[in-house]
Structure 1
Amino acid sequence: MMATNPVAALPAGIRAYDPSAAGAVVGKNTLGTSAAETQDYFMKMLLAQIQNQDPLNAQDPAEMTSQLTQLNTASGIERLNGSISAMLAQTSAQISSQSFMGSAAMIGSQVLAPGEVLALGETGDAGFGLRLSGDSAQTTVKLLASDGRVVDELSLGSLRAGVHTFTWDGAGYDGERAASGGYRLVAAASDTAGTAVVASALTQGLVSGVRRTDSGSSQLLTTDGRSIEPADLIQLSKP
């Protein structure tokens, strides 16, 4: 009896690997990458398997059904993943839009957020705050000009742990009003034992606009040129 070559019986479009061929390699795109290519390849292989099966030892129908079920499951999972990805992208866009509109509602509000530079206008007081990690017995704040010169020093006494707000009238050591601009806050605090207490500076700002970042999040823009993440807000109020 003449031996048959199972490779020759493969339908058109199915690549075969012949280990006897010199330099034989399997193409990296043999199976395809998409669900449609994989399904098409599988069906061709299944047909070739049926056409070339031993009539005396036919393929088990249950096994064939199992193979088809696995293919449909894999294809269904890929379609489901695609649908979920599209839904997540749409939801993310909606959340980003809602976040932007919610931030826009803060325009015109006075906000308190972490920051070391206090903005002093030509008139009026400048507001700032401190967040203490523990109770303090002594608390001071120095206000430094851009050249590092200490313009004024405020003694705030004892404070409880938490957030506190204050105002600076803009007057320096000499009693004269300091020039408008930015002044750096340097806070120091200690407890009754003289141990340092962490005092973080907070500055106020008037929200003048909202900006959307490349990542889709929103930032609040203040009149003193700062960009504040909504998650960093400590207080929000209307002037």
Structure 2
Amino acid sequence: MPRRPLFDFTLDGFRRRLASVDALPQLCVLGVFSGLITGGLMVGFRLLLEVGAMAFMPDADPEAFEGLSPVLRASLPLLAVILIGLWLWRQPPAGRHIGVAHVIERLTYHQGRFPMRNWFTQWWVGLISVLGGLSAGREGPAIHLGAAASSGLGQRLRLPHNSLRVLVACGTAAGISASFNTPIAGVIFAMEVVMMEYTITGFMPVILASTIG
């Protein structure tokens, strides 16, 4: 029977280590990559908001609605609702789920796997909602985009299901941290609302992801 090498740096060896109970170092590595990916996504989201605001917002500020004329201030939310409604109308019912509730649902019932269609819908709805002045902020898009992207990394590498769960929490924490510059709040939200448990195996990767993000 061939003996396994003491240090296995292959992707298969990495997957085997993640499936064991002492996979904290490997999960921390995933947390770092999750923070980098999610942080980059949030930078892109903020840049898209600024580019959109350059078209009609005073000083290209996506939140400077008080500087708009009353007519434009009243018509922007109506236009945003129409654009979002047209997008969602073309999607199947399952493709319309986005935001924090969608993240919790996918983690609870689908082992942390996210459909790509919903991910693109979150981009569209998040950008149009903020630019249109609707009663929605960056929380939902940050959490959904970060969690789905981090989970997608795990799916791409064909990692075990327990790793996807931790990656979802890492993406959630990094999304909140990168969007609002609040790393501690990102960790608390990810552990209490998304994972709903505190473990060392989950806590350390989430802290790393939130800090990197």
TM-score (norm 1): 0.21
Higher relative contact order (CA 8 A, sep 6+): 2
TM-score (norm 2): 0.23
Q: Which has the larger radius of gyration?
A: 1
Determine which structure has the larger strand proportion and give its number: 1
